[in-house]
Amino acid sequence: MNLLVVGASHRTAPVDVLERLAVGTSDIPAVTKRLLAQPYIGETVVLSTCNRVEVYAAVTGFHGGLATIAGQLAECAGMALDELSGHLYVRHESQAVRHAFSVASGLDSLVAGESQILGQLRTAYDAARELGSASRLLHELLQQALRVGKRVHSEAHVDDAAPSVVSAALDLGERLRGRDFAGARVLIVGAGAMGALSTATVRRRGGDCVIANRDTARAHRLAARHDAEVVEWDAIGSVVGGVDAIVTATGASRPVIDAALLENRPQELLICDLAVPRDVAPEVGSLPGVSLVDIETLKKRGDTTRGDQYLALAEAILVEEVETFAGEARAAGVAPTVAALRTRAEEVVDAELSRLRRRTPDLSDDQRAEVAHTLHRVVNRLLHQPTVRVRQMAAEPGGEDYARVLRELFALDAPELSSFNGAAEALRISPGETGARD
């Protein structure tokens, strides 16, 4: 099995493509089942956030796995593969490891260094475990990615360097309004993770919140934590006239804020749409007095990265962790070769003992046992140092060559090691660039 990542993110695709690609939580089991039903896919994890949709997979063949995953993504988006392919990136083996670590660390996010992606990746991994679609290879990759993400945030302090998407949107909103959120009345539409983060951020900035959510009980729980008000979902239009801003982040598949809902809006209204697919209908941005900030706005402005010194330290951690992971993978991969060598040695010893029994029928059982013990001890001592060293050398870059030579010298029937050199090929799909940090 080899590691493969295929996906699209804010770096490679416009928001309208990401909207079409988005896989809702309720749809992930079906997508996962379809992927696993294909002959090249052994394991899979589907990650879908507001800024990316990507599939992590353990595949038996690069080209077959790539074609399967790309086809499934095209089906999810309702697009022809040729139309979607220019927006997809491909990461293979060590590049896939680096990509996973970079994503978990927040370094590939719209806001470089944000920490929310760490929880989103864990949720995707937990969902795959419940579905039984993440086994040995992806289990190890994502466990390590989550650990590396925590390490980057802890040691590189990237949280100090970069705001969340919510903070970035509100920062821009303050500049557009010409004043901060102190004393502002803000309608929060959606009480999920982004809604909760939005509420907490607005309250820290001195604003008052009104929360609307389809599940009113969830809205009340969030409001209780932040001394906020709750409005019924069907009554959103009735409170629009009394707010200074709207922050919306639902998981709806179509807009929940349209021009008709804003008929009684105030003269000036800021709307921050943090959802993908977008919560706000396109025509809203052209309404008089409305300032609209969405993911596309933040992406185009490109001002969501801060603290290059923090990111440089994070990059150094990534380089170290990727090489450690690769070394451990290479060292583990040599195990079948070592086992095959020891099996071959045991076969030779057993053959010689059988030959000895035929040629020396007068030896006692004790004598035969002593001879057998001596032969096994000699062989084990001869093999000990070489097998220890080949494990050590296999962990080094290019270490798979040592195991390959061992197989050739002793004509061993052991599986070939993965090259793990990250040489991603593209089958009708551009490898894509996820930016200098990836």
Q: What distance in Å separates the CA atoms of residue 65 and residue 6, rounded to the nearest whole number?
A: 10
* 46 to 131, 214, 255: CA distances (angstroms): 11, 26, 24
Q: Among residues 50, 76, 209, 272, which one is catalytic?
A: 50
243 contacts 236 by C-beta, under 8 angstroms? no
Residue reference for tokens 């959606």: 190
93 contacts 419 by C-beta, under 8 angstroms? yes
Q: Is 272 a catalytic residue?
A: no
Q: Is the dihedral of CA 217, 222, 228, 231 positive or negative?
A: negative
Q: What distance in Å separates the CA atoms of residue 195 and residue 219, rounded to the nearest whole number?
A: 10
* 412 to 394, 405, 416: CA distances (angstroms): 17, 10, 11
Q: What distance in Å separates the CA atoms of residue 277 and residue 372, rounded to the nearest whole number?
A: 71
Per-residue burial over 8-34, b = 16 or more CB atoms within 10 Å of its CB, e = otherwise: bbbbbbebebbbbbbbeeeebeebbeb
* 279, 281, 284, 285: CA torsion to nearest 10: 80
Q: What distance in Å separates the CA atoms of residue 66 and residue 57, rounded to the nearest whole number?
A: 9
237 contacts 259 by C-beta, under 8 angstroms? no
How do 269-273 and 290-294 pair as beta strands? Answer: parallel
* Residue of 8, 98, 97, 5 whose CA lies nearest to 49: 8
298 contacts 273 by C-beta, under 8 angstroms? no
Task: Catalogue the active-site residues.
Answer: 50
